[in-house]
Amino acid sequence: MKEESSFDFDGEQIPCIPSYHNEGAIKEEGNLTELYVALTKARLEFDEVLFDSTNPHFKSKYVTLAAIQRATVPALAKHGLMIMQLPVTKSDGRCLLVTKLVHSSGASLQWDFWIEPKDRTAHAYGSAITYTKRYCQMALFNIFGDEDDDGNLASNSKPKTQIKNSKRKNAEVGLQNEADEMASGIDDRLAMVESKNDLDKVIQELSKWRLSFSTTNNATQRIKNWTVLVNELKEQHA
């Protein structure tokens, strides 16, 4: 495909980044060892990237390009790295976003991503370019957005995990209390067994705690040797 020397951007001719004979492939230049070392160091110093905006159509949170820039640019600059992203219009009307990560040593990584907005308007292209910039940077730096918990931490509401753990603990305490009550009256219950119907009721209740062993270990220890007692009663009422 013929290589363009420039493209029109808001009426201004912008020089193209050279070499588009192999679109889609990653182009590497220079000694990448220094670039990778610098990128690794910078990555360790990135700030936390938070979901800072909401898509009104899908009601979903997402990370804006500005949030990514705030989290990454200072560390990148500190280690001699810079990212460039330019839209390029091809002779057939197609549009590419060129992403290039450059190191102060002269080494660089470059790749292209096709931009195909639904409508061929300036607004549609602008939105598509911003969208593509975000995802190319997130892929390059291997970063993911996190929920902003600042509001939750400042309020009186408990985190979901804390609420879940609290409910589980309350349920286990209630179960243990019920098991304690059953254990304390087990002798009286067994002494009152006079028929097979009475025995079946006791067996049914005791079986409940057999199923609860894994979550009520402390309580079930108090219901001792129930299988032996039930077997003895079965023999008596056979």
pLDDT in tens, 100-134: 999 999 999 998 888 888 787 888 888 888 888 98
State whether 14 and 86 are in the same domain.
yes
What pLDDT is recorded for position 5?
A: 47
The residue ranking higher by pLDDT, 95 or 81, is 81
State whether 108 and 130 are in the same domain.
yes
Q: What angle do CA 26, 31, 36 make, to 5 degrees?
A: 70
What pLDDT is recorded for position 67?
A: 85
In angstroms, how far is CA 14 from the centroid of its own chain?
A: 39
pLDDT in tens, 136-175: 898 888 887 654 443 333 334 444 444 455 555 555 555 5
**Band of the pLDDT at 21, cuts 50, 70, 90?**
very low
Phi, psi (deg, nearest 5) at residue 53:
-150, 165
pLDDT in tens, 183-235: 556 556 666 666 666 666 766 666 555 544 444 444 444 454 555 555 666 66
In angstroms, how far is CA 167 from the centroid of its own chain?
A: 24
pTM across the whole model: 0.49
State whether 111 and 51 are in the same domain.
yes
**1 inside domain:** no
Contact 179, 214 (CB under 8 A): no
State whether 37 and 63 are in the same domain.
yes
What is the count of structural domains for the chain? 2
Summarize the confidence of residues 74-88 as an average pLDDT.
Answer: 94
Structure tokens at 93: 């009307």
**Band of the pLDDT at 37, cuts 50, 70, 90?**
very high
Residue 15 pLDDT more than 70? no
Domain housing 175: 157-236
**111 inside domain:** yes
State whether 81 and 133 are in the same domain.
yes
Contact 154, 134 (CB under 8 A): no
State whether 136 and 171 are in the same domain.
no
State whether 139 and 216 are in the same domain.
no
State whether 121 and 193 are in the same domain.
no
Alpha-carbon distance of 153 to 61, in angstroms, equals 19
State whether 63 and 98 are in the same domain.
yes
